[in-house]
């Protein structure tokens, strides 16, 4: 790779070649369309489209429709074909291969084992099947010249009553592939206070925690995630922007997500200060947020302002299938529509590496890996 101005706008080929990190990527949201087709056929599950191209378009359009019912329906079709050990292993393997091909060197794959028991799988059998697929994928990627490391994030569904059981599952498999715990599903109305003992349990076992917060619900949800859930990271966290008042041209304007307060002074509330003071990584997912209405455009997505304000910003895909996205695509959009530079892309990658659910020495090694030679910053200068 040749040395290039870090302030330059990198093109797609360079972005794809950058070593990347993704912390927020759902296993059931990243299945290959062709795989959904093949497995649905074998399982006798009816799909809304008959070929891979139109199925991919259907997933994106349904997720784009603004209808929560249709959005949730999309996951019914992936989860329906993820009910056997073989299918889970295949899908995990393919996810690792797809991420490796996109230049990702470290990934965390999150999923909710309780949604994969319709075929009679036990929770441990489901976790072991996914791990077998991840291990296979890592080996196959390595044989192809791509070195990638992948951890499982085991999550509970917020609307279910199995938080403690799933937390115990995550702890039981912590040395066999599981790196942390998450809660996913409907955020509003299902906050961390719903089941307090689980957070105490996870803290006692020192298992890292990330909590979806600040996507469909606002500051109360974020406050609960960091204070009650003791979250090490926030899934999305975009709505922390609601605790920041921007002053533009002398006019105080608490503009929220749709405003454009860039360049103006920022007045942080207590919670925003807390999240920034503790450098709690925000797992931001711009394209997904456009689909769910959390943000109105890439240019106005809070990721850019939060990064300018020195929050611990990481960039993620959320659901590659439903959003037809990839890390390269997310980065390219930020370059094209929000003015990001190569330096910005490396910055969020380094932040993600420091936020990975690994030990400090392993994170340090990963940081060294993602600081691309030739772009590495030394005391603010380039080498």
Q: DSSP label at 356? A: S
The residue number with the shortest CB distance to Zn ion is 318
| Upper half-sphere CA count for residue 261 (Cβ side, 13 Å) | 27
The distance of closest approach from Cβ of residue 215 to Zn ion in the complex, given in angstroms and rounded to an integer, is 7
Measured CA to CA, the distance from residue 118 to residue 87 in angstroms comes to 13
- Show which residues are catalytic: 215
Q: DSSP label at 228? A: I
For the stretch 66-79, what's the b/e string if a residue is b when 16 or more beta carbons lie within 10 angstroms of its beta carbon? eeeeebebbbebbb
Measured CA to CA, the distance from residue 270 to residue 132 in angstroms comes to 44
Question: CB-wise, 128 or 318, nearer to Zn ion?
Answer: 318
Question: CB-wise, 285 or 348, nearer to Zn ion?
Answer: 285
The distance of closest approach from Cβ of residue 26 to Zn ion in the complex, given in angstroms and rounded to an integer, is 6
Question: CB-wise, 16 or 320, nearer to Zn ion?
Answer: 320
CA distances from 220 to 227, 228, 230, 355, 363 (A): 10, 11, 14, 23, 31
Question: CB-wise, 114 or 318, nearer to Zn ion?
Answer: 318
The distance of closest approach from Cβ of residue 246 to Zn ion in the complex, given in angstroms and rounded to an integer, is 27
Of residues 315 through 354, those in contact with Zn ion by CB under 5 A are 318
The distance of closest approach from Cβ of residue 240 to Zn ion in the complex, given in angstroms and rounded to an integer, is 16
The tokens describing 177, both together, are: 């592939």
- Only one of the segments 169-177, 217-225, 303-311, 312-320 lies at the binding site for Zn ion (rule: CB under 5 A); that segment is 312-320
CA 61 from centroid of its chain's CA atoms: 21
**Number of shown-chain residues binding Zn ion (CB under 5 A):** 1
Question: CB-wise, 318 or 330, nearer to Zn ion?
Answer: 318
- Only one of the segments 121-129, 135-143, 311-319, 335-343 lies at the binding site for Zn ion (rule: CB under 5 A); that segment is 311-319
Terminal CA-CA length for the chain: 13
Binding pattern to Zn ion, positions 270-309, x when CB under 5 A?
Answer: ----------------------------------------
The distance of closest approach from Cβ of residue 320 to Zn ion in the complex, given in angstroms and rounded to an integer, is 11
121 touches 164 (CB < 8 A): no
For Zn ion, the binding residues (CB under 5 A) are: 318
């Amino acid at each position: 790779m040749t040395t290039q101005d870090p302030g330059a706008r990198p093109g797609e080929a360079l972005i794809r070649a950058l070593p990347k990190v993704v912390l927020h990527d759902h296993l059931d949201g990243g299945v290959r369309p062709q795989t959904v087709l093949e497995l649905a056929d074998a399982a006798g599950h009816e799909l809304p489209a008959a070929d891979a191209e139109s199925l991919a378009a259907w997933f994106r359009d349904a997720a784009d429709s603004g209808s929560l019912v249709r959005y949730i329906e999309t996951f019914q079709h992936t989860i329906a074909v993820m009910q056997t050990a073989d299918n889970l292993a295949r899908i995990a393997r393919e996810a690792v291969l797809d991420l490796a091909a996109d230049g990702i060197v470290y990934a965390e794959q999150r999923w909710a084992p309780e949604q994969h028991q319709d075929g009679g799988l036990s929770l441990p059998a489901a976790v072991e099947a996914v791990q077998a697929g991840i291990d296979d994928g890592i080996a196959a990627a390595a044989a192809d010249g791509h070195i990638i490391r992948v951890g499982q994030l085991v999550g509970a569904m917020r609307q279910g009553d199995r938080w403690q059981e799933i937390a115990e599952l995550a702890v039981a498999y912590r040395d066999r592939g599981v790196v942390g715990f998450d809660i996913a599903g409907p955020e509003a109305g299902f906050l961390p206070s719903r089941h307090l003992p689980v957070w105490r349990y996870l803290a006692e076992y020192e298992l890292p925690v990330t909590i979806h917060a600040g996507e469909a619900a606002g500051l109360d949800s974020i406050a609960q995630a960091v204070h009650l859930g003791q979250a090490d990271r926030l899934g999305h966290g975009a709505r922390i922007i609601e605790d920041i008042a921007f002053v533009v041209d002398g006019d105080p304007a608490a503009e929220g997500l749709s405003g454009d307060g860039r360049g103006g002074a920022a007045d942080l509330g207590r919670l925003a200060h807390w999240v920034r003071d503790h450098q709690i990584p925000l797992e931001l997912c711009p394209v997904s947020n456009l689909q769910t209405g959390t943000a109105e455009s890439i240019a106005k997505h809070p990721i850019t302002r939060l990064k300018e304000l020195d929050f611990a910003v990481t960039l993620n895909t959320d659901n590659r299938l439903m959003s037809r996205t990839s890390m390269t695509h997310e980065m390219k959009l930020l370059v094209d529509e929000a003015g990001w530079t190569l330096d910005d892309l490396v910055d969020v990658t380094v932040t993600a590496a420091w936020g990975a659910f690994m030990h400090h020495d392993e994170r340090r090694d990963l940081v060294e890996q993602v600081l691309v030679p030739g772009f590495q910053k030394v005391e603010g200068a380039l080498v």
